[in-house]
Amino acid sequence: NLKLVTCTAPVNIAVIKYWGKRDEDLVLPINSSLSVTLHQDQLKTTTTVASSRSLKEDRIWLNGKEENINLPRLQSCLREIRRLARKRRSSGDGGAESSGLAHKVHICSVNNFPTAAGLASSAAGYACLVYALARLYGLEAELSEVARLGSGSACRSVYGGFVQWLMGEREDGKDSVAEQVEAESHWPELRVLILVVSAERKLVGSTAGMQTSVETSPLLKFKKPLVVPAHPPVEGHCVVLDEFARRAANTFGKAIALGSSCLLTTHYNISVTNECSVKTTISLVNLNRNANNKVAYTFDAGPNAVIYTLQQHLEQFVELLKHFFPPETNGEQFVKGLPVRPAS
């Protein structure tokens, strides 16, 4: 009676950031966001779930170490998947597939990249967990809503390509779901570089960081997306931003400025983005000038820069990075990513 399912899910990097909740329990955002899901082979979580009559309790291991299964977000996901599976079985179309619902599960999850270093590990992690559990229970349902309960950004990793998370308006969050806006084939020349300058865990997690932003950032006080110029003034002309703007009706261009202004106007920004990311930003602005503004960049809640560029500029830009980044910043650790298909 042992059932085993293994799935992988990639990380996604937002270009219009989610940074602030209107409901902490249901994980409902204060604005819609837009992201690119990276190539499955690059930054991914692999999760195996096992269920059997002989298992005594639900348990979870993360990167080989047992973690607390009673985390509220984790419990929300488990509860919701089981509820949906039960509902499906009682409506008669679940059949034998959904049997085993009363059994406990063991979950084993591994990231092939630094965990909690601001590289969207919770996005890949919860998307993968929810997808694997759904497969275990034979559940075919819209899963972004469940993944959202684990970590907001996880709802976007359920899909490949270019994905938006609609903030929704309903209080119960039923309309706060992700959807693919463009397939992975939409922009084949786009390349994403992750510049790992620190693999250490973030000092402040996203959940706490965004709470502080909502309380202290003058830009987030309005509780609605800000309209900012498509081209950050300090950077002038940038070919990738131009292209983003052209392809996504300016939204990507706006995003990059929005992301940095929200993070940098937060009182605790020195912990969330930290000194290392401030230095990296300054270096990148200079570097991009040297590269004739061929790249756009963004940060999540950590010091590691994410660079968007096009295939034809990749080699030259990587050469510049290697040349200008001081060795002590580990500037030579790059991971290349591409938009991909949904978790499978």
| Residues engaged in binding ligand DP6 (CB under 6 A) | 14, 17-19, 27, 33, 120, 122, 151-153, 206-207, 300-301
Nearer to ligand DP6, 94 or 118 (CB): 118
Instruction: Find all residues with CB under 8 Å of 335, minimum gap 6, and list them.
Output: 42, 43, 113, 193, 194, 196
Q: How far is the CB of 145 from ligand DP6 (least distance, A)?
A: 13
What is the C-alpha separation between 70 and 73, in angstroms, rounded? 8
Spell out a b/e string for 58-96, using b for 16 or more CB atoms within 10 Å of the CB, else e: bbbebeeeeeebeeebbebbbebbbebbbebbeeeebee
Q: How far is the CB of 7 from ligand DP6 (least distance, A)?
A: 19
Nearer to ligand DP6, 140 or 171 (CB): 171
What is the C-alpha separation between 168 and 150, in angstroms, rounded? 17
Q: How far is the CB of 18 from ligand DP6 (least distance, A)?
A: 4
Nearer to ligand DP6, 206 or 277 (CB): 206
**Helix, strand, coil percentages, rounded to 5, for the chain:** 35, 20, 40
- Is residue 158 within 8 A of residue 342, CB to CB? The reply is yes
Q: How far is the CB of 51 from ligand DP6 (least distance, A)?
A: 26
Spell out a b/e string for 14-46, using b for 16 or more CB atoms within 10 Å of the CB, else e: bbbbbbbbbeeebbbbbbbbbbbbbbbebbbbb
Q: How far is the CB of 154 from ligand DP6 (least distance, A)?
A: 6
- Is residue 303 within 8 A of residue 198, CB to CB? The reply is yes
Q: How far is the CB of 300 from ligand DP6 (least distance, A)?
A: 4
* Selection from 130, 176, 175 nearest residue 27 by Cα: 176
What is the C-alpha separation between 215 and 45, in angstroms, rounded? 32
- Is residue 263 within 8 A of residue 271, CB to CB? The reply is no
Q: How far is the CB of 160 from ligand DP6 (least distance, A)?
A: 16
46: tokens are 């692999």
5: tokens are 């399912």
Q: In sequence order, what DSSP letters do the residues of 258-300 get, joined into one string?
A: HHHHHHHTSTTHHHHTHHHHHHHHHHHHHHHHHTTS--EEEE-
Three-class DSSP category at 219: coil
Nearer to ligand DP6, 18 or 297 (CB): 18
Three-class DSSP category at 179: strand
Nearer to ligand DP6, 145 or 300 (CB): 300
Nearer to ligand DP6, 266 or 293 (CB): 266
Nearer to ligand DP6, 13 or 81 (CB): 13
Q: How far is the CB of 293 from ligand DP6 (least distance, A)?
A: 24
Nearer to ligand DP6, 51 or 298 (CB): 298
Nearer to ligand DP6, 122 or 198 (CB): 122
Q: How far is the CB of 65 from ligand DP6 (least distance, A)?
A: 20
